[in-house]
Structure 1
Amino acid sequence: MTVLAQRMRAQRLSHPARDVTDLFSSVFALQAQDVFAARLAARARGVRSLDGPLVRTWAMRGTLHLFHEDDLWVVNLLGPIFIAAGRRRRAQLGLTDELCERALPALREVLKKPLERADIVSRLAEVGIALDPKSQAPAHLLAFAAHSGVLCRGLDDTYRLLHIDCEPRDVDELWRRYRRAYGPATPDDFAAWSGLPKRQLKNLTEVTDEPAEPNGTVRMLGHFDPYLLGYRDRSAALAPEHADLVQTGGGFLTPHVVVDGRVVAVWHRDGDQIAVHPFGARPDLADEVADLGRFFEVDARLTWV
């Protein structure tokens, strides 16, 4: 259980963050293709608002994450890898290397203010870059631009220009930040979390994880919470016989309850009811349900199913 206690501490689940900056200095990023899920993840770590110097953009595994602006060096580190990985699919969609490179300065001109995808497609057409709005081409071109450090996506889902003002960092720095957020963990876990090929993960710096002991922490985590997403091997926290109840496919996680780092139940919201399906003994969820009620702005009631 000491390993799980260390992970809970690293993830700021047993030792809540003081504010947004404190949170992101520890966890590095929150998965954010679903902004609501990112807000739930922040709630479980003691942070009630995502107001602050945060940027939502594509990085680890080529997926949307929320970062502190000081950590946008990760875009320059990982972007070229995912640009190369997506080249074949872009070509299938008619997005040649020449067209993609030509689109970057055009996007800088188009995005003088935040825009939705459809508006971007229309304005690009006006400057000679025609995309089929019904195809996947717009999404892949915008992903190329994001990995190139040109644009990002706001919490309101509009696209806007990105300005990166960070010194370059290397894979070893990303490994250190990963271990600060998820340790103890292995290079295999790091590869799964980052999307980096294993050939780039040789000779990683030895990292010592901060000690911790179980303290009875109970947390109700949402879908896409980073606590489980940070590992290839989740068996320490999630028993194999319960894995299918939590990992339902496509990277989606059913909202779940952890006690001292171990997943002990799944839950869902139905109006003002927080319905919990425990795997064994019922954990004490009074405080967490009350805080979820504050989060959802309802008088939350716990039901067992």
Structure 2
Amino acid sequence: MTSRTAKSRSWDEASARRLERQFLARPAAPGTPVADVVGAMLGAHAQVLSAAEVSVGVRAAGVTRAEVRAALWEDRSLVKTFGPRGTVHLLPTAELPLWCGALTAIPTGPSAFAPDVRVSEEQAEQIVAAIGDALDGVCLTVEELGEEVVARTGPWAGDLVMPAFQDLWPRWRQVMHRAGQSGALCAGPNRGRKVTYTRPPSFAPLPGEAALRELVRRYLRAYGPATPQNFTKWLAAPASWVASLFARLAEAGEIEEVAFEGAVAWVAAGDTEFPGGRVRGVRLLPYFDAYAIAAQPRESLFPGEAYRRALAGGQAGNFPVLLVDGRVAGVWHQRRQGRRTTVTVELIGRSLTARQERELGEQAERVGEVLEAKAELVLGEVTVGPHA
């Protein structure tokens, strides 16, 4: 337990530690494997692949989207699949045993679908097995995959009953994320404009409890100090279940309490060193960047007016953000035309020093380099709404 006289760690200290460990204080050195950068982030959100490319690129010197795509489609050191919160992420292929072991051990809550839409647990397992069999050694579009799933399970799996984007999808797609989280599915290279899916390289998932314990320790090293409530939100897991998991880790001496901003939080056991002072500097983070989503408390990351302007109903990630000295100080948007891209940055309730303006220009140039375009920086209002 934390001593009442222990020094309370500040937001600036925690922020500096998180930024350093995620290569946001200093980019990873040239030659650092892209998968190592993604691993330090605990995955790069990749619903918008260009945003994931920028997330990785701003953390790694010299890396462009070409290197990220090569890691995905050529050397396969990365996979694009369903990760934490059931959302699409880039994950290191070598870490799939950890991720799949942990994600499949999270209790599933009640289905959000109507009774006549849902699948039973037995049907869900049949679908996941059918997906894995169908994708072994091939790349299929979602339509082709659906045909294979129905052929291996039954017509019920293809019933158009699942509401999605003003349309109806076949029943089997409601557990597609489970197939990704279990290692039966990942994204394949596009076929023209068509998305394809394949099966990742064969691996044996870690046992669930061991994987969960390691994931908590890695989370705390990347984003700690943190509370069970913070981890619950990041993983989208049941709160009481997470509280029990943290209690087991604490009893085993694998995590320990620290005072953080005057309250109790947790770090991995022995991981109590913090940098002195805050990290100075300007950073541009894209949609759904890992740091913007995971760093807590959110009110400290998005201070004052930034909480209203840079969040969508309290949800982080829906706006690309400008960080100044580790806190959100603006939003931005990039619009590409051919080989050029315009980076528009809207400041929130502040101005920049001459040094910060120079750094912002360098950051805009870096975003352009990652996207293999020449960037032009514009300071002004961002009129684009939040990403869905």
Same fold (TM over 0.5): yes
**Any conservation in 1 of the 2:127–2:172 contact (CA below 8 Å)?**
no
**Any conservation in 1 of the 2:103–2:182 contact (CA below 8 Å)?**
no
| Mean CA deviation greater in 133-142 or 260-269 | 133-142
- Residue of structure 2 in register with 1:216 after alignment: 280
The secondary structure found in structure 2 opposite 1:275 is: strand
Measured after TM superposition, the shift of residue 69 of structure 1 is: 1.8
- Residue of structure 1 in register with 2:46 after alignment: 32
- What is the 5 A alignment of 1:1-305? 1-17=12-28, 18-46=32-60, 47-48=63-64, 49-50=67-68, 51-52=70-71, 53-72=77-96, 73-81=98-106, 84-85=108-109, 87=111, 89=113, 92-112=116-136, 113-130=138-155, 131-133=158-160, 134-135=168-169, 137-154=171-188, 156=190, 157-162=195-200, 163-168=202-207, 169-197=210-238, 198-199=242-243, 200-204=245-249, 205-206=255-256, 207=268, 208-212=271-275, 213-231=277-295, 233-249=297-313, 252-271=317-336, 272-279=341-348, 280-282=350-352, 283-284=356-357, 285-305=360-380
Distance 1:35 1:183, change over 3 A: same
| Mean CA deviation greater in 165-174 or 284-293 | 165-174
In the alignment, the residues of structure 2 paired with residue 108 and residue 153 of structure 1 have an alpha-carbon distance, to the nearest angstrom, of 13
Distance 1:148 1:239, change over 3 A: same
The secondary structure found in structure 2 opposite 1:65 is: strand
For 1:164, give the aligned amino acid: F
**Structure 1 length normalisation: TM-score?**
0.88
String of CA shifts for 1:141-188, please: whole Å, max 9, x gaps.
Answer: 322322333222246442212333454333221111112221233332
Distance 1:262 1:89, change over 3 A: same
Q: Which runs of no fewer than 5 residues in structure 1 stay unpaired? A: none
For 1:147, give the aligned amino acid: Q
For 2:123, give the aligned amino acid: L
In the alignment, the residues of structure 1 paired with residue 35 and residue 278 of structure 2 have an alpha-carbon distance, to the nearest angstrom, of 25
**Any conservation in 1 of the 2:295–2:301 contact (CA below 8 Å)?**
no
The secondary structure found in structure 1 opposite 2:283 is: strand
For 2:364, give the aligned amino acid: V
Measured after TM superposition, the shift of residue 248 of structure 1 is: 1.8
Distance 1:4 1:106, change over 3 A: closer
**Any conservation in 2 of the 1:37–1:222 contact (CA below 8 Å)?**
yes
Measured after TM superposition, the shift of residue 232 of structure 1 is: 5.2
In the alignment, the residues of structure 1 paired with residue 135 and residue 344 of structure 2 have an alpha-carbon distance, to the nearest angstrom, of 43
Distance 1:148 1:297, change over 3 A: closer
For 1:44, give the aligned amino acid: V
**Structure 2 length normalisation: TM-score?**
0.71
Q: Larger Cα Rg: Structure 1 or Structure 2?
A: 2
In the alignment, the residues of structure 2 paired with residue 94 and residue 203 of structure 1 have an alpha-carbon distance, to the nearest angstrom, of 34
Measured after TM superposition, the shift of residue 125 of structure 1 is: 3.0
Sequence identity percentage: 27
Aligned length: 304
**Any conservation in 2 of the 1:11–1:182 contact (CA below 8 Å)?**
no
Q: CA RMSD in A?
A: 2.5
For 1:186, give the aligned amino acid: T
Distance 1:288 1:142, change over 3 A: same
String of CA shifts for 1:206-239, please: whole Å, max 9, x gaps.
Answer: 2225422434232100010011211453122211
